[in-house]
């Protein structure tokens, strides 16, 4: 979408292939349960009725209904029966484990989306366990893992949610906090790290940079109501989900200047119905002098498209006009995303893969190491595959219920 640094966008010539990999092909691990004591948890009945029973009705009750079917051993629709028995071996405990490990629903039944999975497991464990959002995710590029502890000694500032009240019925709420970047001279961002406050309700955190001042005058707003107008909070530079460490630049960094703004987007989910939650989570930004490589963010991908019901794909192509280095890329889709590919089509017709990813989860927006050189005449191609089982067509747009298809790529000189 952006024209940046010698890249421009062309429509995708070839049709997009439409086959998607089968869903639910992975068996997860039980690490999120380490240290969890089921005896401390009696899942909330009102939250069950309001948020969780509908998930079980839609995803499980075809087998685990009042009259279990297809070999399912029990009814999972009765609150009292779920909580009956010895903590650790109650149905509610077994439900949390089987869904978090993704051995339920069985293969060939539609997998729970990550939000529903997290809501169910979060409720069943009183907000204490969050399933690993990368379960099921398969990518053939290395995840960006540069961890440079010395950067933690650099000057830093916090971009923090100013005491946000997360009500007991908050489900999938995207709250945005816009603020000034407090620097008085140009600096490079060297490291980004999440500052966790109430982890029980925190689902994921995204940092956007606004160099244009478009968010001037905004402070806290619902990311999905469009209060931000056309600021199109898409200058996404980093995303955090449970399990993600700090992000460090090995060489150079991202330029921030006096007058720049930032938007911290926090996805809250209080599936356990916890009361009195006031969250102060945010992002800590460590910065250094303007030295070595300046990396710029290019948002590659189609701007406008439809996501019809069923399986579909969109793709896009950006032409390269000068020798550039692609440091890393962060695929970005919303909740209907299923798979993602980025590759370079060389001027000579050959192809070099940047990343092939299946099992997309909105919660696991990881940065992948590309470290590829591109030159004039090459094209960078982006392809997003969607699986839309909502029963309604969707479209591209900024709201979470709309879709996006971007590869946020850090581009720099060779
Ligand atoms: C297509 C049918 C089907 C669907 C849909 C399904 N299950 Fe199952 N479930 C089974 C069968 C069959 C078994 C027994 C075999 C096994 O344990 O794998 C089972 C076993 C289980 C068990 C183990 C029960 C025990 O006594 O330990 C749990 C827990 C469970 N399912 C939870 C779920 C949840 C939660 C969902 C929805 C998110 C779900 N299942 C969706 C068929 C289904």
Is residue 235 in a domain?
A: yes
Instruction: Please give the Cα distance from 385 to 342 (Å, whole number).
Output: 12
What's the gap in Å between 118 CA and the centre of ligand 1?
A: 17
Do 117 and 164 fall into the same domain?
no
* Ligand 1 and 110: CB distance under 6 A: no
Average pLDDT over residues 251-259: 96
Of 240, 258, 293, the last residue of a domain is: 293
Do 300 and 175 fall into the same domain?
no
The yes-or-no verdict on residue 389 having pLDDT over 90 is no
For the chain, first and last CA: distance in Å?
A: 22
Do 307 and 407 fall into the same domain?
yes
Do 287 and 303 fall into the same domain?
no
- Please give the pLDDT value at position 10: 44
- Please give the pLDDT value at position 29: 60
Is residue 281 in a domain?
A: yes
What's the gap in Å between 102 CA and the centre of ligand 1?
A: 10
- Please give the pLDDT value at position 16: 57
Is residue 74 in a domain?
A: yes
Is residue 26 in a domain?
A: no
Contact yes or no for 118/130 (Cβ under 8 A): yes
The yes-or-no verdict on residue 403 having pLDDT over 80 is yes
- Find the range with the poorest average confidence among 158-172, 245-259, 394-408: 394-408
Do 253 and 315 fall into the same domain?
no
- Find the range with the poorest average confidence among 130-134, 150-154, 303-307, 352-356: 130-134
- Please give the pLDDT value at position 368: 92
State both tokens at 348.
């000579």
The yes-or-no verdict on residue 250 having pLDDT over 90 is yes
From 73, 114, 125, the mutation candidate for ligand 1 (largest count of ligand atoms within 8 A of CB) is: 73
Q: What is the pTM of this model?
A: 0.76
Do 155 and 288 fall into the same domain?
yes
Residue whose C-alpha is closest to residue 236's, from 7, 414, 11, 404: 404
Do 166 and 286 fall into the same domain?
yes
The yes-or-no verdict on residue 186 having pLDDT over 90 is yes
Instruction: Please give the Cα distance from 265 to 257 (Å, whole number).
Output: 21
* Ligand 1 and 72: CB distance under 6 A: yes
Instruction: Please give the Cα distance from 387 to 358 (Å, whole number).
Output: 12
Instruction: Please give the Cα distance from 368 to 144 (Å, whole number).
Output: 5
Identify the residue whose C-alpha is closest to ligand 1 atom 31: 104
* Ligand 1 and 59: CB distance under 6 A: yes
Check which CATH number belongs to the domain holding 154 and give it: 2.60.120.310
The yes-or-no verdict on residue 229 having pLDDT over 60 is no
More confident site: 252 or 141: 252
- Please give the pLDDT value at position 4: 41
What's the gap in Å between 64 CA and the centre of ligand 1?
A: 7
- Find the range with the poorest average confidence among 78-82, 185-189, 405-409: 405-409
Q: What is the pLDDT of residues 334-356, one digit of tens each?
A: 889 989 999 999 999 999 999 99
> Percentage of the chain surpassing pLDDT 90?
54
Q: What is the 3-state secondary structure (H, E, C) of the chain?
A: CCCECCEEEECCCCCCCCCCCCCCCCCCCCHHHCCCCHHHCCCCHHHHHHHHHHHHHHHCCCCCCCCCCCCCCCCCCCHHHHHCCCCCCCHHHHHHHHHHCCCCCCCCCCCCCHHHHHHHHHHHCCCCCCCCCCCCCEECCCECCCCCHHHHHCCEEEEECCCEEECCCCCCEEEEEEEECCCCCCEEEEEEEEECCCCCCEEEEEEEEECCCCCCCCCEEECCCCCCHHHCCCCEEEEECCCCCCEECCCCEEEECCCCEEEEEEEECCCCCCCCEEECCEEEEEEECCCCCEEEEEEECCCCCEECCEEEEEEEEEEECCCEEEEEEEEECCCCEEEEEEEEECCCCCEEEEEEEECCCCCCCCCEEEEEEECCCCEEEEEEEEEECCCCCEEECCCCCCECCEEEEEEECC
What's the gap in Å between 106 CA and the centre of ligand 1?
A: 7
Is residue 24 in a domain?
A: no
CA 142 to centroid of chain Cα atoms? 17
Average pLDDT over residues 126-131: 88
- Please give the pLDDT value at position 13: 46
Q: What is the pLDDT of residues 284-301, one digit of tens each?
A: 999 999 999 999 988 899
Q: Which residues contact 184 (CB under 8 A, 6 or more apart)?
A: 258
Mean pLDDT, the chain, integer:
86
Average pLDDT over residues 17-34: 58
Instruction: Please give the Cα distance from 117 to 111 (Å, whole number).
Output: 9
Check which CATH number belongs to the domain holding 326 and give it: 2.60.120.230
Q: At what angle do helices 91-100 and 114-124 cross, to 10 degrees?
A: 150
- Please give the pLDDT value at position 226: 59
Residue with tokens 């498209």: 305
- Find the range with the poorest average confidence among 44-58, 118-132, 174-188, 252-266: 118-132
- Please give the pLDDT value at position 24: 39
Range of the structural domain that residue 346 is part of: 7-19+296-412
- Please give the pLDDT value at position 227: 54
- Please give the pLDDT value at position 123: 95
Do 302 and 286 fall into the same domain?
no
Is residue 186 in a domain?
A: yes
The yes-or-no verdict on residue 228 having pLDDT over 60 is no
In DSSP terms, which residues pair with 294 in a beta bridge? Answer: 253
- Please give the pLDDT value at position 278: 96
Do 287 and 315 fall into the same domain?
no
* Ligand 1 and 384: CB distance under 6 A: no
* Ligand 1 and 94: CB distance under 6 A: yes
DSSP-derived pairing of the beta strands 253-256 and 294-300: parallel
DSSP-derived pairing of the beta strands 351-358 and 138-139: antiparallel
Query: Judging by beta carbons within 10 Å of its beta carbon (0-12, 13-18, 19+), is residue 232 exposed, middle or buried?
Result: middle
Of 265, 293, 321, the last residue of a domain is: 293
pLDDT band at 179 (very low <50, low <70, confident <90, very high): very high
What's the gap in Å between 60 CA and the centre of ligand 1?
A: 7
Do 157 and 289 fall into the same domain?
yes
* Ligand 1 and 62: CB distance under 6 A: yes
Is residue 229 in a domain?
A: yes
Domain count for the chain? 3
Do 71 and 156 fall into the same domain?
no
Q: State which ligand 1 atom lies nearest to the alpha carbon of 95.
A: 29
Instruction: Please give the Cα distance from 336 to 405 (Å, whole number).
Output: 11
- Please give the pLDDT value at position 6: 47
More confident site: 114 or 254: 254
Instruction: Please give the Cα distance from 211 to 232 (Å, whole number).
Output: 13
Average pLDDT over residues 156-166: 95
* Ligand 1 and 108: CB distance under 6 A: no
Q: What is the pLDDT of residues 32-77, one digit of tens each?
A: 788 899 999 999 999 999 999 999 999 999 999 998 888 888 999 9
Residue with tokens 């160099």: 211
Measured in degrees and rounded to the nearest 5, phi and psi for residue 11 equal -65, 155
Do 280 and 172 fall into the same domain?
yes
Is residue 144 in a domain?
A: no
Of 81, 108, 124, the last residue of a domain is: 124
């Amino acid at each position: 979408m952006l024209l940046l640094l010698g890249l421009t966008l062309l429509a995708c010539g070839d049709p997009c292939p439409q086959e998607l990999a089968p869903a639910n092909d992975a068996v997860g691990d039980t690490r999120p349960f380490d240290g969890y004591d089921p005896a401390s948890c009696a899942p909330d009945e009102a939250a069950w009725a309001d948020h969780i029973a509908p998930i079980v009705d839609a995803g499980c009750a075809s087998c685990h209904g009042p009259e279990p079917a297809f070999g399912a051993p029990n009814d999972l629709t009765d609150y009292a029966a779920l909580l009956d028995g010895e903590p650790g071996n109650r149905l509610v405990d077994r439900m949390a484990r089987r869904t978090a490990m993704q051995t339920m629903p069985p293969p060939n039944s539609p997998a729970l989306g990550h939000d529903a999975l997290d809501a169910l497991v979060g409720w069943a464990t009183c907000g204490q366990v969050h399933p690993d959002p990368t379960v099921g995710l398969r990518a053939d590029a290395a995840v960006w893992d540069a961890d440079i502890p010395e950067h933690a000694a650099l000057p830093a500032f916090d971009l923090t949610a100013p005491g946000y009240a997360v009500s007991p019925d908050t489900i999938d709420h995207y709250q945005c906090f816009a603020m000034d970047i407090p620097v008085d001279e140009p600096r490079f961002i060297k490291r980004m790290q999440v500052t966790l406050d109430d982890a029980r309700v925190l689902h994921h955190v995204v940092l956007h940079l606004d160099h244009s001042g478009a968010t001037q005058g905004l402070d806290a707003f619902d990311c999905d109501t469009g209060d931000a107008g056309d600021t199109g909070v898409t200058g996404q530079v980093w995303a955090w989900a449970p399990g993600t460490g700090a992000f460090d630049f090995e060489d150079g960094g991202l330029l921030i200047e006096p007058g720049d703004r930032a938007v911290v987007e926090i996805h809250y989910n209080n599936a356990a119905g916890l009361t009195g939650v006031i969250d102060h989570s945010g992002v800590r930004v460590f910065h250094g002098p303007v030295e070595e490589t300046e990396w710029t963010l290019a948002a590659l991908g189609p701007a406008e498209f439809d996501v019809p019901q069923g399986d579909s794909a969109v793709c896009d192509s950006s032409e390269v006009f000068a020798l550039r280095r692609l440091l890393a890329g962060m695929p970005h889709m919303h909740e209907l995303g299923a798979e993602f590919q980025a590759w370079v089509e060389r001027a000579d017709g050959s192809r070099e893969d940047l990343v092939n990813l299946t099992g997309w989860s909105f919660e696991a927006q990881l940065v992948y190491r590309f470290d590829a050189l591109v030159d004039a005449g090459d094209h960078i191609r982006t392809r997003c595959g969607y699986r839309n089982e909502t029963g309604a067509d969707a479209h591209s747009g900024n709201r979470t219920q709309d879709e996006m298809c971007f590869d946020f790529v850090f581009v720099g000189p060779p």
